[in-house]
Amino acid sequence: MTAPLTAAVTADLLRRYDRPGPRYTSYPTAVEFAESFGAEAYRERLAAAAAEPSLPLSLYAHIPFCRSRCSFCACTVLITRNPRVSENYLGYLLREIDLVAPLLGGRRSVAQLHWGGGTPTYLDPAQIRRLFAKFAEHFTLLPDAEVALEVDPRVTTTEQLEVLRSLGFNRISMGVQDLDDAVQEAINRVQPGGMTRSLVADARRLGYHSVNVDLVYGLPRQTEEGFARTVDDVIGLRPDRLAVYSFAMVPWMKRNQRLIRPAELPAPDVKLRLFGRAREAFLAAGYQAIGMDHFALPEDELSVAARNRVLHRNFMGYATRPAPDMVGFGMSSIGEVSGAFVQNHKSLMRYYERIDAGLLPVERGYALSADDERRRAVILDLMCNFHVDRRGWEARFGDDFGAFFAPELAELSAPDGPESHGFVRVLPDALEVTPVGTLFVRNLAMVFDRYLKARTGGGPVFSRTV
């Protein structure tokens, strides 16, 4: 095996670049969303989306429930073992779909449907059928639509997988994080490897087109040797895709993370080596590196999109079917409609109150400016494809790239800047992220973030970039 890419990262570079920064599932990021963008603004954006009836949609449904709380988790979840709670929520979710769908007029074709959480398989088979039937009542899945959901191997049954597959779900993503017993104990997620193996086998037998496994590096009690064993075990399952996420330690936002002992977290250099060794193992096993933290088999459409430089990124992660608009349903869900981000209420009671009043349950949002659109295009290309076509950008926006981004290009090319450190090549026609630069692509994207540069003072907001 070749030396890991991380071997090229010196302690000085790690100190310099390992700092708080966004993951850029959106630009502008969610911290810029404002309550001044409310239900009426969302209604106007939905009307604009309805004016393009031939364009497909992406749909997201948030199922926030889990039976127990993992200490590392940064998702919006509700912990309950009372089935009446999820049944009540499902009723409101169905009503929200009934509220939103008519506002889209005749625009009803769907290229991507995703259920996330929480744990979507918290719903029992009958509830799964009811939710899918409501979507089918209002929308039509395209023949090649990606129909996906996230599952927890600890609570997902074969019957649920059978029902989901019969409804047309074709991609499944399961959380594993780490198979080491000590790490699982530290993050309050005990998940024997046999559960994961059984679920993957069931998914294969039932004909799911794509199986994804999520791992997390930087967790408490992780060691290089232990994580290497997890990586080897996961490679043995031969999933179509892998996500290897950097643990986002944000205890000021997620109180459950305060249960984690900082002394048990791997040091920054060890954390980087965890990813480096995993990356090399996946590449040696025939996977292709995708974006900053994904891997896929060469024939997987995620790999194909990356090779063709058409990979996209949204709040559902890396995507191959970038529908122009994504509509979110459920508490805390985020959509992107007609040039605006829209987020539902994160409070369950407020979400219920709004729907009871016959109102769209919007808490906040953000309408992108012309400047936002220009910067977003560059940031997405960096994050997804490690390449920015300067001439293509100019043709799209009608501006001179060098003039518009003169300060940013100067920052990249400064004597002690990212280009001098071998992270990026600033060329007349393109920006090219180097292999080692892919480890710091969040830092490169941050150069183009106008809001991040303007942010001063206040408490911590983002996790660290490495």
Q: Which domains does the chain have, with CATH numbers?
A: 1-27+369-450 (1.10.10.920), 28-329 (3.80.30.20)
Model confidence at 60: pLDDT above 90: yes
Residue 319: its pLDDT value, please?
82
| 8 A C-beta contact, residue 239 and residue 246 | no
Give residue-wise pLDDT tens across range 146-185: 999 999 999 999 999 999 999 999 999 999 999 999 999 9
What is the mean pLDDT of the segment spanning 122-147?
A: 97
Residue 143: its pLDDT value, please?
95
Model confidence at 460: pLDDT above 80: no
CB proximity list for 207: less than 8 A, separation 6 or greater: 165
| 8 A C-beta contact, residue 144 and residue 171 | no
Model confidence at 457: pLDDT above 80: no
The pLDDT > 90 percentage for the chain reads 80
Give residue-wise pLDDT tens across range 391-401: 999 999 999 99
Residue 459: its pLDDT value, please?
66
**pLDDT band at 13, cuts 50/70/90?**
confident
**pLDDT band at 314, cuts 50/70/90?**
confident
Model confidence at 2: pLDDT above 70: no
What is the mean pLDDT of the segment spanning 53-75?
A: 92
- What's the per-residue H, E or C state across 192-240? CHHHHHHHHHHHHHHCCCEEEEEEEECCCCCCHHHHHHHHHHHHHHCCC
Could you tell me which of 427, 418, 416 has the C-alpha nearest to residue 387? Answer: 427
Tokens of 291: 């974006």
Q: What is the rounded CA–CA span in Å between residue 99 and residue 96?
A: 5
What is the mean pLDDT of the segment spanning 266-275?
A: 92
Model confidence at 44: pLDDT above 90: yes
Residue 1: its pLDDT value, please?
46
What is the mean pLDDT of the segment spanning 97-111?
A: 97
Tell me if the pTM is above 0.85.
yes
**pLDDT band at 451, cuts 50/70/90?**
very high
Residue 3: its pLDDT value, please?
62
Return the half-sphere exposure (C-beta side, CA atoms, 13 A cut-off) of residue 29: 19
Model confidence at 224: pLDDT above 90: yes
Q: What is the rounded CA–CA span in Å between residue 361 and residue 40?
A: 11
What is the mean pLDDT of the segment spanning 404-419?
A: 96
Provide the 8-state DSSP code for 20: B
* Helix/strand number for the chain, H first, E second: 17, 19
Give residue-wise pLDDT tens across range 351-390: 999 999 999 999 999 999 999 999 999 999 999 999 999 9
